Chains A and B, each alone.
Chain A
Amino acid sequence: NAGVTQTPKFQVLKTGQSMTLQCAQDMNHEYMSWYRQDPGMGLRLIHYSVGAGITDQGEVPNGYNVSRSTTEDFPLRLLSAAPSQTSVYFCASSPGTGSTEAFFGQGTRLTVV
């Protein structure tokens, strides 16, 4: 059972480039979310989805897009990368939205130069 799988693990982008961070879960979870974690800080919610076809913004959505065409996949798109988006990105999934634990991927370390 793989859980939550994120790819790639590391990425370097030039300012202005676009890319997609991939996230897949095999637990049939309804709820999926993307967080960013900056040094010495906790996790900040970027976007989340309560089911296929439904997405919404979190605390820091600017510069990012998401879509949820299947239950399993929740990709995060950076439209035009900026140095301020240098961070570690975590994808998480939960069985539902009702106070359930989250299962996290291993993270993608992104550097924008």
Chain B
Amino acid sequence: EDQVTQSPEALRLQEGESSSLNCSYTVSGLRGLFWYRQDPGKGPEFLFTLYSAGEEKEKERLKATLTKKESFLHITAPKPEDSATYLCAVQGHTNAGKSTFGDGTTLTVKP
């Protein structure tokens, strides 16, 4: 059974204070690992897909990295508008495209 654990549950940062969110996973043959952003009262919004260990992707102040056991979402010099819940999900080769989601990390950036 695929499993995803995200930490911390909540993270409070000052504007400009860089940090990282963690996503640990177990999956039988990784097809893809996804990061989504979810604002209150909205549906998740896609950020990144990572496919293999060593892969990195960047978008503005966000950078996602992947190892064989975990993924990190690095946030550099965050702004208040980066405040949201960040969700991690995995798809395994044995699950025909079904995604398993973690519980998310709620990020609050104070000005």
A residues whose Cβ falls under 8 Å from a Cβ of B: 4, 31, 33, 35, 40-45, 48, 50, 58, 90, 92, 94, 96-107
Contacts and interface: CB of A to CB of B under 8 A. Distances in A.
Contacts, number: 63
B43 A90 contact: yes
Contacts of A98: 31, 97
A103 B46 contact: yes
Interface in B72-111: 87, 89, 91, 96-104
B101 A104 contact: no
A36 B102 CA distance: 13
Contacts of A101: 34, 46, 49
B46 A102 contact: yes
A104 B51 contact: no
B59 interface: no
Contacts of A102: 34, 44, 46, 99
